[in-house]
Structure 1
């Protein structure tokens, strides 16, 4: 039987998910700033090449940074709330 996780408590889960979304908001702001700086640098170095270059660069940078932030945020959420320790590990010899 799975053990208790802090995410089972509604108040703590609300706090933990709120912290996760706050970090994601900050990462969205950092991503937007990075996209603007990189597109500006591309324009300064190469001029107006093609609109497709700038669209692809913005989407690639944005998708990569936000996906990385989301997955790392979920790793820290799972670890920080004790959700990782609440799993039922049948291979653990010390498990009850």
Structure 2
């Protein structure tokens, strides 16, 4: 596991990335509520019977779909903003002491 990012020259700090993640998730939650309302309005306007089961299934299906999609998008921004994406491409320098290698195999 890598150490937390402490580079002061980084454009976005972890705190800023998490704040942006929470901000995005707030708007995704508002969007999910609006999507549930729109779906229920559509079912009502269409003349579909709105039983308790239909309302619960619609609320659960629409809200979870919007929240999962928005949450995954927000995680992409969190990963990019916290510096995890840049660390993937870095190659560690080989250890000078052969006994310090983690795999212990001969080359």
Q: How high is the TM-score relative to the length of structure 2? A: 0.68
Q: Does 1:8 align with 2:5?
A: yes
Q: Tell me, what secondary structure is at the counterpart of 2:83? A: coil
The answer for unaligned runs of 5 or more in structure 1 is 90-94
Root-mean-square deviation (CA), in Å? 2.5
The answer for unaligned runs of 5 or more in structure 2 is 7-11, 94-107
Q: CA deviation at 1:26?
A: 0.7
Structure having the higher Rg: 2
Whole-angstrom CA distance in 2 between matches of 1:41 and 1:88: 47
Find the counterpart in structure 2 of residue 92 from structure 1.
Answer: none
Q: How high is the TM-score relative to the length of structure 1? A: 0.75
Q: CA deviation at 1:79?
A: 2.0
Q: Compare relative contact order (CA 8 Å, sep 6+) and give the higher one, 1 or 2.
A: 1
Whole-angstrom CA distance in 2 between matches of 1:76 and 1:88: 17
